[in-house]
Structure 1
Amino acid sequence: MNRITILVITFLLVFMSCNKKKSEEKEEIQTEKTIEKLSTKAANVSILQTTFVINGLNDIAHKIWLYLPPNYTTSTEKYDVIYMHDAQNLFDDATSFVGEWGIDETLNTLYKNTGKNFIVVGIENGGEKRIEEYTPWKNEKYGGGKGAIYINFLVNKLKPFIDKKYRTKPAAENTAIIGSSLGGLISFYGGLKHPETFGKIGALSTSFWFSNKVITFAEENGNQKKTKLFLLVGDKEGDSMVPDTENMSELLIDLGFPTQNLKTKIAANGKHTESFWKAEFLEVITFLFNLENNERTNN
């Protein structure tokens, strides 16, 4: 085999290798496009055009997701309102971290079966700033500590905005604040700090471990007589999660929190995941809004 023949064969092999690599890259790109998550939010979920930069918190323009009841445009009814955090994870697989809560599907089914309706206001978290937004106190390792600013925004700016633009029942007894993990911590804090605004609290898988100051806070603010509180934790969430939740429940009862207004659930096999909170959401609002008794009354 002469030198020219060898060069020609080498060139052909290199050419074929390059074409194969390009073909593989093209197939990889097409595969990525195929597995791109599709939007799963219901038609009655929207993102408001108005965004909010929260003074003193950070420079992020927070998007607000809004769930309106299926009969909103065909009625003059006013509605109970649920404020929730981590809006990216509530309604849509396309924006969720590791799966959505399915709030819209759950509430649409609830309306279909019972006629009960809610407005849900979801506030997007600030991404890498989430810790500082959802923590009222600093942690030596993780930082944070701007949660009071975030809650003041909900109380003094966002809720008045929603109450003005939409047909809400604005009283505290008709308003809930619900979240999970650090979102559970900020819900616990916000609800007890502002019982005149939030009469119902869903604190799911709450990160009570974040700061010991939560104990002092509970001692100073836990003697609520009208607030309803649902504490949820799964028994597979970590070493301290269950005892932290149980201890907080016992503390509140000792402080005079009415036992009929407090439900503490330790869920078997519950893990720190969106799928767990999705599965428990209906039970949470059933307790907070007394849906079982309302259904019996309506029947």
Structure 2
Amino acid sequence: MKQSIYLIVFSLFFLASCKKENAAKDSSKSQEKPSTKAENVSMLDQKFNVVNLKGEAVARAIWLYLPPNYDSSEERYPVIYMHDGQNLFDAKTSYAGEWGVDEILNDLYTKTKKGFIVVGINNVGAERMNEYSPWKHDKYGGGSGDRYVKMIVEELKPYIDKNYRTKPEAEFTGIIGSSMGGLISYYAGLAYPDVFGRLGVVSPSFWFSKEILDFTKNNPALSNTKMYLLLGDKEGMTKEFNEVSKLLVDSGFPKDHMQQKLIPGGEHNEAFWNSQFLNVIRFLYDIEL
């Protein structure tokens, strides 16, 4: 029953994601909402491709958040890679609200002087489902997830490390996403633990494929990996969330490197993820306020 409820919720979320892409293309609609991104958020001139299951190269735009002191210092910074870039920084490009990543991190910098670089990767509409899972689903697609992650590992991350002052080591490199973005973040962290050492697995779609269970058993993360697993109790995915979390620990993931949070009242939307983003960052990067 819970799975059926979640499939309905997920279907609505998927349709909303497709509408986001259409809204972004419709300039007249996007102009109805003012831009809310901070001054230290920009778009890269270069786009990055993922070859889809048809053999077509599909390009996507990349957002870049730099810490407030980037231009006035020679400091190097941790880098966080995030999915669904349209929804991270700007209400103008989002469909149902934004995470407010820029405002949250700017405020964190003011209070702690801890700065981050955030790379927001736009989804590309219909390919989103395919790219955010390495495993296929009979109804919803999937299967291009490793191609997508390889693009980040082999092309995007080297570009960012070359052109910006980063701390490139895994202990400083995070990957964070929600829903299907949570699923692909989990996959990326376990499949490439020498690249991604800080994992924000938010409202993950663990129900998408049973193959995640064998994958978890066969891919224990490195001992220095940290993971924040987060779910709202109104999202309808508690069974799979608890099952994977337990299996992760049983497979050897260090308990003190993992937070598993089931939040009362939490729903499957950007408002919930906005409310929890700071907690994710504080745990992954050991920040006290």
User: TM-score scaled to structure 1, two decimals?
Assistant: 0.84
Q: RMSD across aligned C-alpha pairs, in angstroms?
A: 1.5
Q: For 2:281 and 2:221, locate their aligned partners in 1 and report how far apart those are by CA, in whole Å.
A: 22
SS of the equivalent of 1:270 reads coil
SS of the equivalent of 1:60 reads strand
CA contact (8 A) 2:194 2:222 kept: no
Could you tell me which amino acid in structure 2 is paired with residue 182 of structure 1?
M
Q: Are residues 173 and 104 of structure 1, via their aligned partners in 2, closer, same or farther at CA, if it must alter by over 3 Å?
A: same
SS of the equivalent of 1:70 reads coil
Higher RCO (CA < 8 A, seq sep 6+): 2
Deviation at 1:222, TM superposition (A): 2.6
Could you tell me which amino acid in structure 1 is paired with residue 261 of structure 2?
K
Deviation at 1:59, TM superposition (A): 3.2
- In the alignment, does 2:289 pair up with 1:285? no
Deviation at 1:223, TM superposition (A): 4.8
Q: For 1:83 and 1:115, locate their aligned partners in 2 and report how far apart those are by CA, in whole Å.
A: 20
Q: How do residues 268-279 of structure 1 correspond to structure 2 at under 5 angstroms?
A: 268-279=264-275
Deviation per CA, 1:18-70, whole angstroms, max 9, x where unpaired? xxxxxxxxxxxxxx889811110000000011111223564332100000000
Q: Are residues 223 and 78 of structure 1, via their aligned partners in 2, closer, same or farther at CA, if it must alter by over 3 Å?
A: closer
Partner residue, 1:8:
none
Instruction: Please point out which of 15, 25, 46 is paired with 1:50.
Output: 46
- In the alignment, does 2:246 pair up with 1:250? yes
Partner residue, 1:198:
196
**Percent same amino acid among aligned pairs?**
55
Runs of 4+ in 1 over 6 A off after TM superposition: 32-35
Rg bigger for which structure?
Answer: 1
Deviation at 1:249, TM superposition (A): 1.2
SS of the equivalent of 2:149 reads helix
Deviation per CA, 1:234-285, whole angstroms, max 9, x where unpaired? 00001xx112111111111111110000100000100000000010000001
Could you tell me which amino acid in structure 2 is paired with residue 79 of structure 1?
Y
CA contact (8 A) 1:177 1:202 kept: yes
Q: For 1:142 and 1:206, locate their aligned partners in 2 and report how far apart those are by CA, in whole Å.
A: 15
Q: Are residues 33 and 160 of structure 1, via their aligned partners in 2, closer, same or farther at CA, if it must alter by over 3 Å?
A: closer
Q: How do residues 99-114 of structure 1 correspond to structure 2 at under 5 angstroms?
A: 99-114=97-112
Q: For 2:135 and 2:222, locate their aligned partners in 1 and report how far apart those are by CA, in whole Å.
A: 21
Structure 1: gaps of 5 or more residues: 1-31
Q: For 1:33 and 1:155, locate their aligned partners in 2 and report how far apart those are by CA, in whole Å.
A: 34
- In the alignment, does 2:115 pair up with 1:117? yes
CA contact (8 A) 1:69 1:119 kept: yes
Q: How do residues 115-264 of structure 1 correspond to structure 2 at under 5 angstroms?
A: 115-238=113-236, 241-264=237-260
CA contact (8 A) 1:126 1:133 kept: no
CA contact (8 A) 1:81 1:168 kept: yes
Instruction: Please point out which of 36, 51, 75 is paired with 2:32.
Output: 36
Q: For 1:82 and 1:195, locate their aligned partners in 2 and report how far apart those are by CA, in whole Å.
A: 14
Deviation per CA, 1:168-218, whole angstroms, max 9, x where unpaired? 000000000000000000000001100100001001000000000000100
Q: For 2:137 and 2:52, locate their aligned partners in 1 and report how far apart those are by CA, in whole Å.
A: 19
Q: For 1:35 and 1:256, locate their aligned partners in 2 and report how far apart those are by CA, in whole Å.
A: 50
Q: Are residues 33 and 260 of structure 1, via their aligned partners in 2, closer, same or farther at CA, if it must alter by over 3 Å?
A: closer
SS of the equivalent of 2:51 reads coil
Q: For 2:221 and 2:128, locate their aligned partners in 1 and report how far apart those are by CA, in whole Å.
A: 29
Q: Are residues 35 and 150 of structure 1, via their aligned partners in 2, closer, same or farther at CA, if it must alter by over 3 Å?
A: closer
Pairs aligned (count):
260
Q: For 1:210 and 1:247, locate their aligned partners in 2 and report how far apart those are by CA, in whole Å.
A: 13
Q: For 2:29 and 2:207, locate their aligned partners in 1 and report how far apart those are by CA, in whole Å.
A: 40
SS of the equivalent of 1:54 reads strand
